[in-house]
Each structure stands twice: as C-alpha cells, then as structure tokens.
Structure 1
Amino acid sequence: MTRLERSTRLDPAADRLQRGVHAVLRPRRVRDLLHGVWLGHPLHPALVQVPVGAWTCTAILDLLPGQRRAATTLLAVGTASALPAALSGANDWASLAREQRRVGLVHAMANSVGMAFFAGSLAARLTGRYNLGRTLSFLGLAAAGGGAYLGGHLAYKQAAAVNHGVPELRRMEDGWHPLADLDALPERTLLARRVDEVAVLVYRDGDDVTVMLDRCAHQTGPLSEGELAEVGGRACVVCPWHGSAFRLDNGQVVRGPAANDQQLLESRVAGGILQTRLP
C-alpha cells in the first residue's frame, strides 16, 4: 500500500481523469449534491452500503437451494445502485490530494472490474445460464472486496473525506480560555487566534461573536486566510485552498468539497474579555 501511495506512474492517468471528472461535473450544485453538502455527511460512504449489501446477500443466496429468483433480484438491485455510488465516489476522488488519488484510482479500477463481473452475471442469469452467473458473481464479490479494502485504506490510513478539523479539539485543555478584548475586535473581519497551540477563527458581527476551528474540515486549509462571502443571505467564510464555504453563525457547510460542518467552540464575554472553551 505504501508503494501504491508513492507510485508516480499513476499520476498521468489520474490527472487526466481528474480533469475529465471536473469537466463533466462542472455545475457546483451537482458537485455539492454528490459530495453530500445537503446531508452534512459524505454521500459516497452511505451510497455504497446498498450495492455491497445486495451483492453480499446475492452470494449467500447463491449457496442456498431454491433462491435463484431472490438472488437475481438482489444482484440487479446491487448493480443498478452501484452507478450513483460510483458517480459520487468519482466526484469525491477528484478533490483529493495526489497520493490519495493514486490509491483511489486503483480502488475505482477494482470496483469497475467487480461491476463488470456483476453485470455479466446478471446477463447470464437472465438468459438461463445460472451456474455461469453464480461464478461471475463470486468473482465480482472478490474484486469488490479488494476495492472495499482500498476504500478503507483511503479513509482510515489516508483520512480521505473525513473531518480534518476535529482532531484539533483533542489538543485543547478543558475550561475557559481568554482570546481577546472584545472592544478591540474589528467587526466583519476574519481573525486568527490560538488556544493551546490550536488555531481558531474569530469573527465578530456586532454583539455576535463566532469562534470556530481555523483548519478546514476538508483538507485543513487555513480559513482565517480565506474570504468573506454571502451565501443564501448568510455571512460565510470560504476556504482559500479548495473553496468550501461555511456559515459563520453556526458552522454549517453550504458549499463543497467539504461535506462536514465546521466545528464551533463555545464563547462568552467576561469582564470585557472574549473567552472560549470546548463544546
């Protein structure tokens, strides 16, 4: 797996495919839909449960007598549901870092081989060649299983599509921490401060003050170096690295590629001093 992450030979193909995905999924609304911005959670991991579950159940039913019709039905459901899962996965993949895209490319290739086997299995079953269909299903499950392992490596080893900001919370001590004199804070300005070596973003709008983690949930971009924008009538901060946008009043993600909300900290004013603590 380490050699795969470092394999520069995959980069030319990955770069071309990335440009192709961006060209096909150009409308931002489409990309945000597939990222899961509306869900507040990456969409791809949720969608893959249907095909993987259906294909696994197909294999189990293939080992039982008298279950041909049920197995074929589940196989059809799994194969059809794999298409939106693959589309959302391609959209997520195109926003990953280079070493993540290398593993993701092989992940997609393994799953594509699996889908081809499953489609062939479905065709064989529908034409009465059940034994061939069963064999192709087992081959498809093996390929999809390899793809699932690579997907797990992407998530758990390479931290693809996870909230990169939340681990910062583990570095903060409990209790209230002073940040700044409230009267000295300029309004409608993105400010960077630190709490126990944790970078936070401070934003004041009149009497309302927001304190959120400065590192973007998507790829740890410094939000305090981003831009202010109004999205849907709400003040938002736009990440300078990949363009994810978060509402400044509640941290809600309104534009991807981030699919997770940005973590807010609790805040209060005591003796004219703005203080913050863990939520």
Structure 2
Amino acid sequence: MRALLTRIEQAAGLDRVGDRMQRTVQRRIRSGRVRDLLHGVWLGHPLHPVAVQVPLGAWISAAVLDLLPGQQRAATTLVGVGTATAIPAAIAGANDWATLTPEQRRIGLVHAVTNTVGLVCYAGSLAARLTGRHAFGRTLGFVGLAAAGGGGYLGGHLAYKQAAGVNQSVPELHRISAGWHPIADFAGLPESTMISREVDDVPVLVYRHGENVTVLLAHCAHQNGPLDEGDVISSNGHACVVCPWHGSAFRLTDGTVAHGPAATDQQVLRSRVVAGVVQAQLP
C-alpha cells in the first residue's frame, strides 16, 4: 500500500487533470468570504474533516441497520442523510484541495474520485430503496461504503503523511529551547511595522503596536510560506500580514487567521519587555 501511495504522489501525469480541475474550482468559488467559510477560518479548524463525519457516520450506521431485520425505513433515511450531506462536504474539500502542493493534489484527486464512486453508489442505493428494491439498495450501499472507506484512507494519508490541512509552522516550536530569549531593543522597534528576527535559528516576526509587542513564527501555518516576505494590509481594522505564497492573512497583534486558505491561527510566542529588551519564550 505504501508503494502504491508513493506512485500516486509521483504520478505527474495526473497533473493534466488536476491542474484543469484546480482552475475550475478557483473560477467557481471566487468570493473570498465563501472560500474562508469553506476553509473553516471561522471555525479555527479545517471544515472538511468535520463535515465528512456526517455522511460517513450516516452511511456506517445504515450499513449496521442493513444487517438487522426490520430496519429498512431507518436505513433508507440514513442513506438519504449521508448522500445529501456528502455534497457540501465535498465542496469544502475541493476548496481546500485547490490550494495544495502538486504531490498533495495527486493524492487528493484520487481521494475525490474514490469518494465520488462511493457517492454515486449511495445515490443509486437510495433510489433503489425508495422504489422497493431494498436488496439491490443494500448491495450498492455496501459497495459505496467500501469506496468511501478507501477514500477515507487516502484522506488520512493526506493529513498524516503529507500534512495537508495541518498547521505546518507548529513543528518550528520544537526547535526553540525553554526559557526567555532576547530578541530586540524595544526602543529600536518601529511602530506598526513588522521586522524579522530569530529565536534559536527559528525565524520570527516582531510587531510593535503601542506599548505591546507580538512575536509570531515567520513560516505560514498553511504551507510554510515566508511571512516575512509578505505584505502588511488592513483587514476589518486589524493590521495583517499576507503570505506571498497562497494569500493567507494573519493579524499581527495576535496571530488570528483573518483569511484562508489557512484555517488555523499563526503561532504566537509569549513576549515581555525587561530592562528595555524584548524577550520571547514558548507559549
């Protein structure tokens, strides 16, 4: 299985289809607010992994009921719920997928195809059940569950092996030793301007706002983009740094994600000023 997944990751031939689909998704979902909604910016966590729990849970429950006598109506209801809720979950997943790296998109493309097969099987299962062909509906349901299970395995590979959708800046924290680290003289920090520094060779951003100083990791939570090369904008009255790679925006005062594709906040270090020197330590 590992060898198969590696071959999929390296299958550059999939990019012809994947690149075309990526452009289609980006054209269809143009609104920044809609993208942020689907990314899960409002949730502080990617929306897609949460959304898929409903259809998968409904389909698994329907499969259990299909093994029991006298549960046809309940199983049909669960198949319908799962089929209906799979569509918005898929839209959220496509929105995330369009911002991934080529290797991640290849696995994601096969993940989407496999889940689409499962969805088609369940749509057919629902139609069969509603027309009284429950035996055929059960068969299609079990086939659909197998396909959805395969898609779930690929989704796990995306998250846990390829780190898609996770906060990729957090591992930088493990490189910072315990204790307070001097960063800069407070008096020398320009007001409302981010500057770059290092803590144990880990790049950070330092931002002074009034008498307060925020110290953020400088690698973007989404795909490790260099935030120190990004632009500073105003969003809803907050100064934000925009990642130059994919456009994620984070508030410079507290690291809160303002716009996706990042769905998690940028990691902020604890900071203080002692004898005129800004210090930072692990959160």
Secondary structure of the residue aligned to 2:224 is coil
The CA deviation string for residues 167-206 of structure 1, in whole angstroms up to 9 with x for no partner, is 1111111110000111112222221111112111101122
- Name the CA distance, whole Å, in 2 between partners of 1:190 and 1:183: 14
- 1:257 Cα deviation (Å)? 0.4
Q: Of 8, 13, 24, which aligns to 2:12?
A: 8
**Percent identity among equivalent residues?**
66
Q: Which amino acid aligns with 1:83?
A: I
Partners of 1:141 and 1:206 lie apart in 2 by 56
Supply the AA of the counterpart residue of 1:41.
H
Give the aligned partner of residue 71 of structure 2. 67
1:208 aligns with 2:186: no
Which of 86, 108, 115 does residue 112 from structure 2 map onto? 108
CA–CA distance in 2 between the matches of 1:7 and 1:154? Answer: 15
Alignment of 1:52-201 (within 5 A): 52-201=56-205
Matching residue's letter, 1:160: A
Q: Which residue of 2 aligns with 1:33?
A: 37
Q: CA RMSD in A?
A: 0.7
Amino acid at match of 1:220: N
User: In structure 2, how many angstroms separate the alpha carbons of the residues matched to 1:23 and 1:75?
Assistant: 31
The alignment partner of 2:263 has SS state of: coil
Q: Which of 227, 239, 246 is equivalent to 2:243?
A: 239
Quote the Cα distance in structure 2 between the aligned partners of 1:16 and 1:201. Answer: 36
TM-score relative to the length of structure 1 = 0.99
- Inter-partner Cα distance in structure 2 for 1:207 and 1:194: 21
What TM-score comes out, normalization by structure 2 length?
A: 0.97
Q: How does 1:225-236 map to 2 (within 5 A)?
A: 225-236=229-240
Query: Following TM superposition, by how much is the alpha carbon of 1:33 offset from its aligned partner in structure 2, in angstroms?
Result: 0.6
Match of 2:27 among 18, 23, 30: 23
CA distance in 2 between partners of 1:65 and 1:9 (Å): 48
Counterpart CA distance in 1 for 2:38 and 2:19 is 20
Cα distance in 2, alignment partners of residues 98 and 190 from structure 1: 31
Letter of the 2:153 counterpart: Y
Does 2:279 align with 1:275?
yes
Instruction: Measure, in 2, the Cα distance between the counterparts of 1:189 and 1:235.
Output: 9
Q: Which secondary structure state, in structure 2, belongs to the residue aligned with residue 265 of structure 1?
A: strand
Gaps of 5+ in 1: none
Deviations 1:217-271 (A, max 9, x none): 0000111111111100111111111111111111111100000011111101111
Q: Secondary structure at the match of 2:255?
A: coil
Write the distance in 2 (CA, Å) between the matches of 1:142 and 1:95.
28
Deviation of the 1:92 alpha carbon: 0.3
1:11 & 1:190 partners in 2: Cα distance? 37
Tell me whether 182-191 or 263-272 shows the greater mean CA deviation.
Answer: 182-191
CA distance in 2, matches of 1:125, 1:173: 61
Q: What one-letter code is carried by the residue in structure 1 that aligns with 2:172?
A: E
One-letter identity of the residue aligned with 1:128: G
- CA distance in 1 between partners of 2:210 and 2:34 (Å): 35
* More displaced stretch, 109-118 vs 206-215: 206-215
Structure 2: distance between partners of 1:37 and 1:253: 7
Distance in 1 separating the partners of 2:15 and 2:245: 21
